[in-house]
């Protein structure tokens, strides 16, 4: 186990049966409060992001993808694209609905947020069943772009998300 693995294990607290029975939420709040660990996580995510090759944009999924995505985008020298929950964006948007491990949701992205042909890196906090990353890939495809890779802090491997997302693959700092 690396020092970074140990920090993630120590600072990301599992909360059983939240937001509903049977779901274990991964609370990153203690990690964000530790500036040394948070910086190490960003450094680690940037190293993983570089495996995707050159990208034109980093797309972050609301809400926790907003925490990691902008820092990664700045380090890679590209722009950041926010993907929001339905009804939160002020301009014309693309939309997709998807299933989560505990329900369903709709996400949106501004129609002009990604240019056709762009290579986009998708960033979120956790890969569980893969529904969120598949939905983000759908938005990217609707814009005429492609997913260069997916990047998460934590992968919950028992839930099979990696198998669902397919060819774009996923890099994670920690897997449980």
**Residue 107: pLDDT band with limits 50, 70, 90:** very high
The whole model's pTM is what? 0.95
Which entry of 26, 64, 119, 174 is annotated as an active-site residue?
A: 64
pLDDT score recorded for residue 23: 85
Token output for 153: 């802090």
Residue 135 lies in a domain: yes
Instruction: Please give the average per-residue pLDDT across 95-118, as a whole number.
Output: 91
**Residue 72 domain boundaries:** 53-175
Question: Interior CA angle at 20 toward 18 and 26, to 5°?
Answer: 30
The rounded percent of the chain whose pLDDT value lies above 90 is 90
In 10 A of CB 29, how many CB atoms?
9
pLDDT score recorded for residue 81: 98
**Residue 166: pLDDT band with limits 50, 70, 90:** confident
The beta strands (E) that lie in 62-136 are given as 79-85, 93-100, 103-110, 119-127
pLDDT score recorded for residue 100: 75
Residue 47 lies in a domain: no
Helix 3-11 / helix 35-49 crossing angle, nearest 10 deg: 120
* Span 17-59, pLDDT tens digits: 998 898 899 999 999 999 999 999 999 999 999 999 999 999 9
Residue 96 lies in a domain: yes
Count of structural domains within the chain: 1
Task: Lowest mean pLDDT of 112-126, 134-148, 154-168, name the range.
Answer: 154-168
Which entry of 50, 62, 75, 101 is annotated as an active-site residue?
A: 101
Residue 64 lies in a domain: yes
pLDDT score recorded for residue 101: 67
Cα distance between residue 28 and residue 152, in whole Å: 12
Rounded to the nearest integer, the mean pLDDT of the chain is 95
The yes-or-no answer on residue 101 being catalytic is yes
Instruction: Please give the average per-residue pLDDT across 96-125, as a whole number.
Output: 93
* Span 69-95, pLDDT tens digits: 999 999 999 999 999 999 999 999 999
> Quick check: helix, strand or coil at residue 99?
strand
pLDDT at 15 over 70: yes
The yes-or-no answer on residue 62 being catalytic is no
Q: Which residue has the higher pLDDT, 100 or 119?
A: 119
pLDDT at 104 over 90: no
> Quick check: helix, strand or coil at residue 34?
coil
Residue 1 lies in a domain: no
The CATH number that applies at residue 131 is 3.40.50.2020
Residue 9 lies in a domain: no
């Amino acid at each position: 186990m690396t020092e970074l693995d140990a920090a993630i294990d120590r600072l990301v607290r599992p909360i059983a049966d939240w937001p509903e029975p049977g779901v274990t939420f991964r609370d990153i709040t203690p990690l964000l409060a530790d500036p040394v660990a948070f910086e190490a996580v960003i450094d680690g995510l940037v190293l993983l992001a570089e495996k995707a090759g050159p990208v034109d944009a980093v797309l972050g999924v609301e809400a926790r993808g907003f925490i990691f995505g902008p820092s990664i985008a700045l380090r890679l020298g590209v722009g950041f694209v926010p993907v929001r929950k339905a009804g939160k964006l002020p301009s014309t948007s693309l939309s997709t609905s998807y299933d989560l491990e505990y329900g369903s949701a709709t996400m949106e992205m501004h129609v002009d947020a990604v240019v056709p042909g762009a290579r986009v890196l998708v960033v979120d906090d956790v890969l569980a069943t893969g529904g969120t990353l598949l939905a983000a890939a759908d938005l990217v495809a609707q814009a005429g772009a492609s997913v260069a890779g997916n990047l998460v802090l934590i992968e919950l491997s028992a839930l099979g998300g990696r198998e669902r997302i397919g060819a774009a693959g996923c890099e994670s700092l920690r897997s449980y």
